[in-house]
Structure 1
């Protein structure tokens, strides 16, 4: 009986030992990209990997979502309204005003901004004009009686040292303009980053 118990325990210990050496445990880690709030899957790391091997582990750049994916979606959504006539308070293809265009473009992607441009200008992070990127919002004071922010545009391109933005004007409806145009350059007040 004693010989049987020794063989039994020896067999169990060999089985356990063989499981721990041949079976590799992997750990998958998910982190959140603070810029896009999307999950990034870090490559699996085998149990027992040495610390210096971890330092050499790099993320596959194709697995990391681009920072501006949401911005491009919003820009493309806004561009579909190019040519729509101006309508005060409008947010549909039947007509829209400047803040209606921006409000609707962000809302369609589950980002809710205030409906009025001067209230939108209280959201996000105020940045320098030279830091402007696609998807940022430009705010203007177009010589209104209250001297408040009363116009907003969404940056859609930066090319040849010109910031291009989509917005809705009373005369032309939804159009793309350049901040280099004298009127918009003089009316410009600030730029804000929502995403």
Structure 2
């Protein structure tokens, strides 16, 4: 089931009254920076809708999802097609330093037994400060959760980060 499609359930997003009023007016071109931030927001809110979903290797729906499937489905909601596996996803976008991370960036990890080969992926959701960067991922033991990238465990297995927008 490695190539299963994402569930077709879209994340419900409601416009604020102010946005509803402006939606009827001719649309002004948003700045590229604003468009990227909006896409990142869509991707993050979609990923968070999967919180609590159990882990399932090759899974891409609410019955079970793996780390790369979570990214695949979340980015699809923003009309961005990511590769399927975490190793392939780790080449998507522009390389960024762990010190430059912002919401929407991709982070990649390697279990010690894989010796630097990417085997796990996540999505930065919040940068709270120099000691706390939250990312969402599908953990084999806990399912979809948010964790601190800068905790000793994740910092130790961190391999690289990419900016997809």
- Band of TM-score, shorter chain: 0.7 to 0.9
Q: 1:144 aligns with which of 95, 107, 113?
A: 113
Taking structure 1 as reference, are residues 77 and 31 closer, same or farther at Cα in structure 2, changes over 3 Å only? closer
CA RMSD of aligned residues (A): 1.7
C-alpha displacement of 1:128: 1.2
Greater relative CO (CA pairs within 8 A, separation 6+): 2
Distance 1:148 1:142 in 2: 8
TM-score (norm 2): 0.77
C-alpha displacement of 1:160: 3.4
Residue deviations 1:32-52 (CA, integer Å, cap 9, x gap): 7444xxxxxxxxxxxxxxxxx
> In the alignment, what sits opposite 2:58?
89
Residue deviations 1:52-102 (CA, integer Å, cap 9, x gap): xxxxxxxxxxxxx45401101110010010000000000100000000000
Q: Which of structures 1 and 2 has the bigger CA Rg?
A: 1
Q: 1:179 aligns with which of 126, 143, 149?
A: 149
Structure 2 counterparts to residues 1-195 of structure 1, below 5 A: 33-35=31-33, 65=34, 67-145=36-114, 147-161=116-130, 162-195=132-165
Matched length: 137
Unmatched segments (≥5 aa) in structure 2: 1-27
Distance 1:146 1:130 in 2: 23
Instruction: Determine if contact 2:127/2:133 at 8 Å carries over to the other structure.
Output: yes
What secondary structure, in the 3-state scheme, does the structure 2 residue paired with 1:68 have? helix
